[in-house]
Chains A and B, each alone.
Chain A
Amino acid sequence: MSLPRFRTERRELNAPLLRFLAPLLSVLVALFVAGFLLLAAGVDPAAAYLEIFRESVGSIYGLSETLVKATPLIFAGLGVSLAFRMQIWNIGAEGQIYIGAMAASGVALFSGIENHLLMLTCMLVAAFICGGLWAGVAGLLRVRWQVNEVIVTLLMNYIAILWTDYLLFGAWKDPKGFNFPLSAQFSDAARLGDYFNTRLHSGFFLALFCALLLYLLMERTVWGFEIKAIGSNPQAAQYAGMKTGPAIVLVLFLSGALAALAGFSEVAGLQHRLIHGISPGYGYTAIIIAWLARRSALGVVVVSFLMGILLVGGDSLQLTWQLPIAFIYAFQGLILFFLLAADFFLQYRIRRVAGGDA
C-alpha cells in the first residue's frame, strides 16, 4: 500500500447558503490568522480588535470616518464589479480614480464657474467621461486586437498616477503650498456639502445612489441581462445575436467612469484640492471588494463599509500601538486569500483516498 492520498472532486450541487456564508467565514478566519501577526508584534489581538471596532463604529465621529473611507471604495468597487460581471478584468481602478480626480480638479481649478450646482455637475461629468475614456482604451484594444485588458488596465495605472504627479510637481502646484505636491484649494463652488460637523460629504450618498442604479441596471434591465449573458458565455451570446465587441467597450467605459467618480468625490468632498497620492490603493482594494461582494452592487456597499472599518481601525492601531499600515494591507490580503480558498471548497471537496495505484 502506498501513502494515503488526497484528491479533489467536483461538487455537483452548490448550496446557495454556503455561497453567502463563505465571505463571512473567510473574514473570521482572516481575523484569526491576523491575530498571530498581532501577537508577533507584541499586541494583544483582542484588545486590538476591540480598538478597531470602537474607533470605527463606536462613536458618531468614528462612524462618519468609516463612511468617508467607504465612499471611494464603493465607487471603485462598483466599477470593478461591473467589469468582473462580464468576465472583463479591470485591474485599473486605481489609475481611473486618479484620472477622475485630475479631470474634476482641472474643471474646479480652471473653469472659473461660480454656480455651485453647475460647477459640481461639470466636475462630475468631466471625471465620469475621462475615467470612462481612459478605461475604454483597454476595451478598444481588447476588442480590436485581442490585447489582454488585465495588462493594459494595470499598466495604465502607472501612467495615470505619474501624470497626476507631473502636474502636481509642475504646472498645477499651489504657489502658496510651500512646495508641497498639492494643487491650489478649490473655490467653495467646487466643494461637496458636509454633514453633522464631520468630514462626511455628499459623495457618500452619491455612491449609495450609484450602487442602487447599478443594481437596477444589472438585475432588472435588458442591458444588464445582455452583460450577464455575454459574461457567462461570449460565444453563445454572439450566436444569439448580441454584439459582444461594443458591449465590452461600453462596460469598460462605465467601469472606469464609476471608479473615476471616486476621484471626483475625494477631491470635491474631502481634500478640496488635488494632492499627491489622492488614492492610497483604493483601486486595488476595490478588486478585493468586488470579489468579496460576489460582484453584486449591493454587496459592494456592505463590503466597502467593512473595509472602511478596517482602514479607520488601522489608523488608530498606528496611533495606539505604532503598528504599520502594512498590517491592514496584510489583513486585506488574508481575507482575499481565504475567500479564494473558500470559493475553491465551494466547488470542490477533498477526499482521502486509501491506497494508491492498483
Chain B
Amino acid sequence: MPDLLQIEHIRKTFPGVVALDSVSFSVAPGEIHTLLGENGAGKSTLMNILTGLYRPDRGRILYAGREVRFARPRASLACGIGMVHQHFMLVPAHSVFENILLALDGVPGFFSRRRLRDRIQQVIDEFDLDLDLDSPVWKLSIGAQQWIELIKLLMRDCRLLILDEPTAVLTPQESERLFAVLTRLREQGKSVIFISHKMREVMEISDRVTVLKKGRSLTTLARGDFDQARLAGLMIGDDQVPQWRKQSRVGDDVVLDIRDLSVRNDRGLADLDSCSLELKKGEILGIAGVAGNGQKALAEVLTGLKKAASGRIFAAGEDITHSSARSSYIAGIAHIPEDRKSIGIAPDLSVDDNLILKSFKQPGFRRWIFQDRAAIRRNAREKIAQFAIKAGPDGAPVRYLSGGNIQKVIIARELSEDPAVLVALYPTRGLDIGSAEYVHKVMADGAARGMSTLLISEDLDELLKICDRIAVMFRGRVVGCVDPRQTTREAIGLMMSGEEVA
C-alpha cells in the first residue's frame, strides 16, 4: 500500500537557527509512527510544518500520493491531518461543547444543538471519557482538556492524527486506554504520528520509530528492530547524561505534617478532602495520581497560592495553617510549578533577572535601594554553569530559551537558597532525557543535603526510581502510601483508580 504521508528532505531555518536540517520519513495508512528525539531536535517545528503553521524552506511533503503545501492550518486540517498540541488550543472561558463546536467546519448557522451534542456524546461514550459538555474548560484538569482536543479531531474524521506527548498528562491506566483508542484507530486504517520520549510507551505502541537528532532524521526502525537501549543510544548520541546515585538518608524529623487538610475550588467542591501526609527530613515523597485528583491543590496550599478550608499544616511542629508565620515559612519553600511558562518565569526579563526573581530583595543582590548588577551577573554566570543552562547571548529575554532550559532556570532559582522543602509539580514533563536526568540528580543531591521533596508526577517510572515513599491520591485524599522497592506499577495504578490497599 502506498504511504499516506511522505516527507522528503525538509529543511527549515529561522533567523540564525537551523531548526530542521534534513528530515525524511513516511507514514503508512494504519500505522502508528513514533517520532523520538530530544528537546530541540526539531519535532515541534516539523509538526508545525505538517499542520501548516510554518512553511519549509526546502523539501517536499507528499500526502496520499500528491505533493501538498499547506498555507494555513485549515488547509492541512481540510486534508484530514489533525494535531493534539502539547499546549492545548482551547478557549478557557467557553464550555467543552462550545470548544468542540468551534473546531467543526460546516456547522450551519442554525443547527440542532441536541443532535450535535448527541454526536459528541457518542464519541465520548465510545472512548469511555468522563467529560461534562457544559463545564467551562478552565475548570477542567489538564487531562480532561486533552480529551477535548482528541474529541475535536475525532469529530472531524481526521485520517492522520498527530499527538505531541499525549501521555504526559495521563495515568498508566488512562494511557492504556489512549493506546486502546489508538489501536482501534489503527484498525480503522487511520495513521498516527506519536511524539514521546517515554521509552516504555514507544516500545509498546509503535509500528515504526524515526529518531530525530539536531534537525536530522537519523534512521527509521520497524518494530522488532528497535529496543529501549538502541533507541536511547541513538537519541542521546554522544551527549552527556548526568550520572547520579540515590542515597537514602531519610531522617526521623517530620518537616511537614499535613492533617485532615481540605481545600475548596472555584465551584465550591473539595479539591483536597481531609488529606493527611507526613514529609520527613531528607525524604523524597512522591505523589502519584490521575491529574485532577487534588495534587495541584495540595501544591497550591503548600506554596501559599490557596487557603486551607479546614485542617492543619505543621512545619517542624509549629502550626502554620493560618498564623502569620505561614508567609515567611512559605517564602522558604521552593516550588517548581506545573505550568512553567505561565507562572514560572517573567518572559521579557533576562535569564539573570529571572534567576533572582525570588531573592532580588536580599542583601547579596542589592546595595541600599539599588540593585547590585555585578552580583546579579555573577550569580547568573554561576548558575548557568552549575545547571548547564543554554542561555543564549547575555541579556536575552528568557522566553527565547527552550522548554528544558526554562525549566533549568526555574530549578536553579528555586534551589539557590538551600530550601528545606521543595514542592515539584511534574518537573520533568516535556523534558528530554538529559534534562530529566539532571532534574532527578538535583533532587537526589538535595535529599542528600537534607532537603525534603514533595514530587508530584504522572510518570510512575520516575516516581519508582527516585522516591523514598509514594503516596497515591484519589479524589482529594491520600488512599495509601507504598514503598517503591516493594510495589509494582499495577498496584499503584489500582490505587490511582481509587482502590484502597491495605
| Residues of chain A from 194 to 217 with CB closer than 8 A to chain B in the complex | 216
Instruction: Let me know if B111 is at the binding interface, CB within 8 A.
Output: no
CB-based contact A236/B371 at 8 Å: no
CB-based contact B55/A13 at 8 Å: no
Residue interface bits A227-265, CB-to-B below 8 A is 1, else 0: 011011101110111000000000000000000000000
Instruction: Let me know if B303 is at the binding interface, CB within 8 A.
Output: yes
Instruction: Let me know if B349 is at the binding interface, CB within 8 A.
Output: yes
* Most central of B69, B71, B75, B347 by chain A CB within 10 Å: B71
Q: Which residues of A contact B371 (CB under 8 A)?
A: 220-222, 224-225
CB-based contact A239/B335 at 8 Å: yes
Q: Which residues of A contact B335 (CB under 8 A)?
A: 239
CB-based contact B360/A225 at 8 Å: yes
Instruction: Let me know if B289 is at the binding interface, CB within 8 A.
Output: no
Q: Which residues of A contact B78 (CB under 8 A)?
A: 357
Instruction: Let me know if B15 is at the binding interface, CB within 8 A.
Output: yes
| Residues of chain B from 1 to 33 with CB closer than 8 A to chain A in the complex | 14-17
Residue interface bits B437-476, CB-to-A below 8 A is 1, else 0: 0000000000000000000000000000000000000000
Instruction: Let me know if A358 is at the binding interface, CB within 8 A.
Output: yes
CB-based contact B75/A239 at 8 Å: no
A2 to chain B, nearest CB (A): 9
Q: Which residues of A contact B79 (CB under 8 A)?
A: 358
CB-based contact B71/A223 at 8 Å: no
Q: How long is the Cα–Cα vector from A357 to B76 in the complex, in angstroms?
A: 8
Name which of A3-11, A25-33, A36-44, A143-151 contacts chain B.
A3-11
CB-based contact B303/A357 at 8 Å: no
B468 to chain A, nearest CB (A): 27
CB-based contact A358/B66 at 8 Å: yes
CB-based contact B358/A235 at 8 Å: no
CB-based contact A355/B71 at 8 Å: yes
Chain B residue nearest in CB terms to A11: B15
- Count how many chain A residues have C-beta atoms less than 8 Å from C-beta atoms of the other chain: 32
Chain A residue nearest in CB terms to B346: A232
Q: Which residues of B contact A231 (CB under 8 A)?
A: 348
Q: Do A236 and B369 contact each other (CB < 8 Å), given the known contacts A5-B71, A11-B15, A12-B17?
A: no
Q: How long is the Cα–Cα vector from A226 to B361 in the complex, in angstroms?
A: 9
A189 to chain B, nearest CB (A): 34
Instruction: Let me know if A141 is at the binding interface, CB within 8 A.
Output: no
| Residues of chain B from 40 to 88 with CB closer than 8 A to chain A in the complex | 54-55, 63, 66-72, 74-76, 78-79
| Selected contact of B370 from candidates A220, A228, A236, A358, CB within 8 Å | A220
Q: Which residues of B contact A223 (CB under 8 A)?
A: 369
Q: Which residues of B contact A356 (CB under 8 A)?
A: 71, 75
CB-based contact B15/A239 at 8 Å: no
CB-based contact A239/B337 at 8 Å: yes
A90 to chain B, nearest CB (A): 19
Chain B residue nearest in CB terms to A12: B14
| Selected contact of A236 from candidates B68, B69, B343, B373, CB within 8 Å | B343
Instruction: Let me know if B342 is at the binding interface, CB within 8 A.
Output: yes
CB-based contact A7/B303 at 8 Å: no
Q: How long is the Cα–Cα vector from A239 to B342 in the complex, in angstroms?
A: 11
B412 to chain A, nearest CB (A): 14
Q: How long is the Cα–Cα vector from A358 to B49 in the complex, in angstroms?
A: 14
| Residues of chain B from 363 to 380 with CB closer than 8 A to chain A in the complex | 365-366, 369-371, 373
Q: How long is the Cα–Cα vector from A351 to B344 in the complex, in angstroms?
A: 34
Q: Which residues of B contact A5 (CB under 8 A)?
A: 71
B482 to chain A, nearest CB (A): 31
Instruction: Let me know if A50 is at the binding interface, CB within 8 A.
Output: no
CB-based contact A237/B346 at 8 Å: yes
Chain A residue nearest in CB terms to B395: A16
Instruction: Let me know if B234 is at the binding interface, CB within 8 A.
Output: no
CB-based contact A240/B71 at 8 Å: no
CB-based contact A358/B349 at 8 Å: no
Instruction: Let me know if A353 is at the binding interface, CB within 8 A.
Output: yes
Instruction: Let me know if A354 is at the binding interface, CB within 8 A.
Output: yes
Interface size class of B (residues with CB under 8 A): 35 or more
Instruction: Let me know if B269 is at the binding interface, CB within 8 A.
Output: no
Q: How long is the Cα–Cα vector from A232 to B70 in the complex, in angstroms?
A: 34
CB-based contact A233/B345 at 8 Å: yes
CB-based contact A354/B69 at 8 Å: yes
Q: How long is the Cα–Cα vector from A172 to B394 in the complex, in angstroms?
A: 58
CB-based contact B71/A357 at 8 Å: yes
Q: Which residues of A contact B75 (CB under 8 A)?
A: 356-358
CB-based contact B349/A228 at 8 Å: yes
| Selected contact of A233 from candidates B76, B346, B369, CB within 8 Å | B346
Residue interface bits B301-339, CB-to-A below 8 A is 1, else 0: 001010000000000000000000000000100010100
CB-based contact B69/A222 at 8 Å: no
Q: How long is the Cα–Cα vector from A336 to B16 in the complex, in angstroms?
A: 30
A8 to chain B, nearest CB (A): 11
Q: Which residues of B contact A7 (CB under 8 A)?
A: 71-72
A86 to chain B, nearest CB (A): 12
CB-based contact A229/B15 at 8 Å: no
Q: Which residues of A contact B349 (CB under 8 A)?
A: 228-229, 232
Q: How long is the Cα–Cα vector from A233 to B366 in the complex, in angstroms?
A: 22
CB-based contact A236/B71 at 8 Å: no
Q: How long is the Cα–Cα vector from A328 to B392 in the complex, in angstroms?
A: 44
Q: Do A13 and B14 contact each other (CB < 8 Å), given the known contacts A236-B346, A356-B75, A358-B79?
A: yes
Q: Do A235 and B68 contact each other (CB < 8 Å), given the known contacts A13-B16, A221-B371?
A: no
Chain B residue nearest in CB terms to A357: B75
Q: Which residues of B contact A358 (CB under 8 A)?
A: 63, 66-70, 75-76, 79
CB-based contact A222/B343 at 8 Å: no
CB-based contact B346/A355 at 8 Å: no
Q: How long is the Cα–Cα vector from A222 to B376 in the complex, in angstroms?
A: 12
Q: Which residues of A contact B129 (CB under 8 A)?
A: none
Q: Do A239 and B303 contact each other (CB < 8 Å), given the known contacts A221-B369, A225-B371, A353-B55?
A: yes
Instruction: Let me know if B400 is at the binding interface, CB within 8 A.
Output: yes
CB-based contact A235/B342 at 8 Å: yes
Q: Which residues of B contact A357 (CB under 8 A)?
A: 71-72, 74-75, 78
CB-based contact B15/A222 at 8 Å: no
Chain B residue nearest in CB terms to A219: B371
Q: Which residues of B contact A225 (CB under 8 A)?
A: 353, 360, 371
Q: How long is the Cα–Cα vector from A141 to B318 in the complex, in angstroms?
A: 38
Q: Can you list 17 A-B pairs, Cβ within 8 angstroms, ordered by A?
A: A13-B400, A216-B370, A221-B370, A222-B365, A223-B369, A225-B360, A229-B357, A233-B346, A235-B343, A236-B346, A240-B358, A241-B331, A356-B75, A357-B75, A357-B78, A358-B67, A358-B68
Please give 20 more A-B residue pairs, beta carbons under 8 A apart, in addition to A13-B400, A241-B358, A353-B71.
A7-B71, A12-B16, A216-B370, A220-B373, A222-B365, A222-B366, A222-B369, A225-B353, A225-B360, A231-B348, A236-B342, A237-B346, A237-B357, A241-B331, A354-B69, A357-B72, A358-B67, A358-B75, A358-B76, A358-B79
Q: Tell me the B residues contacting A by CB distance below 8 Å.
A: 14-17, 54-55, 63, 66-72, 74-76, 78-79, 303, 305, 331, 335, 337, 342-349, 353, 357-358, 360-361, 365-366, 369-371, 373, 400
- Cβ-closest 8 pairs across A and B: A358-B68, A232-B346, A12-B14, A232-B348, A240-B357, A357-B75, A233-B346, A235-B343
